[in-house]
Structures are given as C-alpha cells and as structure tokens.
Structure 1
C-alpha cells in the first residue's frame, strides 16, 4: 500500500474528499463501507491496533497504528461514519488481548416505498 519516492520518502496512499477517499488509484465512497472491525495484535512487549475496512464489493484493506497516516485516517472515519464511540477503549483494554470488535456495520434493513 505504501510507495516510496527517490530517497525513500514515504508517500501517503490516502487522499480525502467530501464523498469519500482515494486509496492509491481506488476511489471509495464513505457509503461503500460495509463493515469495520478493529482488533489488537500482540507483539510481545507492545500491542498494535489494526482496523479492517470491508467494502460492499468484498474488497478488504487494513490500516494499523504503526502507519504514519493512521491517525488521520481514523479521524476521517470518525467524521464521516457513525462508528462505535467506545471502540478504542474496547479494543485497547485489557492489554495483550485481541479484543476484536465490530465498530461499524451497515444496516441490512431496506425499506420499499
């Protein structure tokens, strides 16, 4: 997902706009996100939080907190999608446990008019 310029400078693969974001060359609308799951990976002395994004077309990508663009991406998610407000506490504690939590799932209910 990350690309490097000359001299090993990391390029952020995300850019944001009102209706969604671009991930490299892929355009994703906020309303295409079907499910978001967060969990921790135990790295022996520390944990690393991962966030899986599942799209309606079965595309899945993962963003984790060791990536430099992680905080900006999480802020954009929180501003544009109604994710579970207590998700971070549920995933972060207790330490060294996976604590997998669904923090967003698109409603499966549809209404006919």
Structure 2
C-alpha cells in the first residue's frame, strides 16, 4: 500500500512596510493598515483546546489568521499599535469561557470614526 505524504500547510502572517501579508498555502493576501475596515476576534473549539482567531476585512478582501500562524505575536503587537481602539487584552477576554465562540468586534472603521 502506498501512502502519500501530506504537504505541510503554510500559515504565516508577516509585517510589510505599510501593512502586512497573510500566507495560507499558496495564496498570499496583502493589506495596507489604512485599508482595514473591520477586525473580528473569535475562538474555535478544537475539542481539547481552543484556537484564537482573527477575521480581517477590507472593502475588497477578507482573510482569517489564527494564533498558530507563524508571526502571529509580532502582527498582534503591531495591530494594537495601529488600532489603539482594540483592547490590548482581547485574546484573554475571548479565551473565557472555554469552548464558546465569543465572537467580538475589535475594530470597525464605520463605528470608530468620530
């Protein structure tokens, strides 16, 4: 019997000069900080653990990133600097209670405009 070796999935988020790019397998989606319309944090139940996730939206594209993505911590630190409206401890807030989605809008350009 022949077994095919699964290709390792690429999951990475990296900072660029004026924004960031999300790598998911062979797809790379680029964003400028200025084009972000909405950020939504949530948690996914993985049976024995939960996974903190972020939905990133602009007018023309939407991507998802998780705490398991390479570069997550650098990205989150920069995101909080770029969007001071985002609660610095949003990940901890979403983490409890366990096994609930806890979807939370972290930033919305239309709501955060004076």
Interval of TM-score (by shorter of Structure 1 and Structure 2): 0.7 to 0.9
- With normalisation by structure 2, the TM-score equals 0.72
Question: Could you list the per-position Cα deviations for residues 23-82 of structure 1 after superposition, in whole angstroms to 9, with x for gaps in the alignment?
Answer: 46654221100000010000111000110100122x000110112221111112112122
1:56–1:43: structure 2 CA closer, same or farther, 3 Å change rule?
Answer: same
Q: Which has the higher contact order (CA 8 A, sep 6+)?
A: 2
Rounded to whole Å, the distance in 2 between the matches of 1:12 and 1:63 is 8
Matched, 1:96 2:99: yes
Q: C-alpha distance in 2, partners of 1:40/1:48?
A: 5
Q: For 1:90 and 1:29, locate their aligned partners in 2 and report how far apart those are by CA, in whole Å.
A: 27
**CA 1:88–1:105 in 2, change beyond 3 Å: closer, same or farther?**
same
Match of 2:55 among 46, 52, 55: 52
- The Cα of 1:11 is off from its aligned counterpart by 8.5
> Over residues 3-37 of structure 1, what are the superposed CA-to-partner deviations in whole Å (9 max), with x where a residue is unaligned?
xxxxx7x69552321x3234466542211000000
How far apart, in 1, do the equivalents of 2:92 and 2:111 lie? Answer: 26
Q: 1:91 to 1:11 in 2, by over 3 A?
A: closer
In the superposition, relative to structure 1, how do residues 14 and 108 fare at CA in structure 2: closer, same or farther (>3 Å)? same
Alignment RMSD: 2.6
Unaligned runs of 5+ in 1: 1-7
Work out the CA distance in 1 between the residues paired with 2:70 and 2:112.
36
User: How many residue pairs were aligned?
Assistant: 101
Q: What corresponds to 2:86 in structure 1?
A: 84
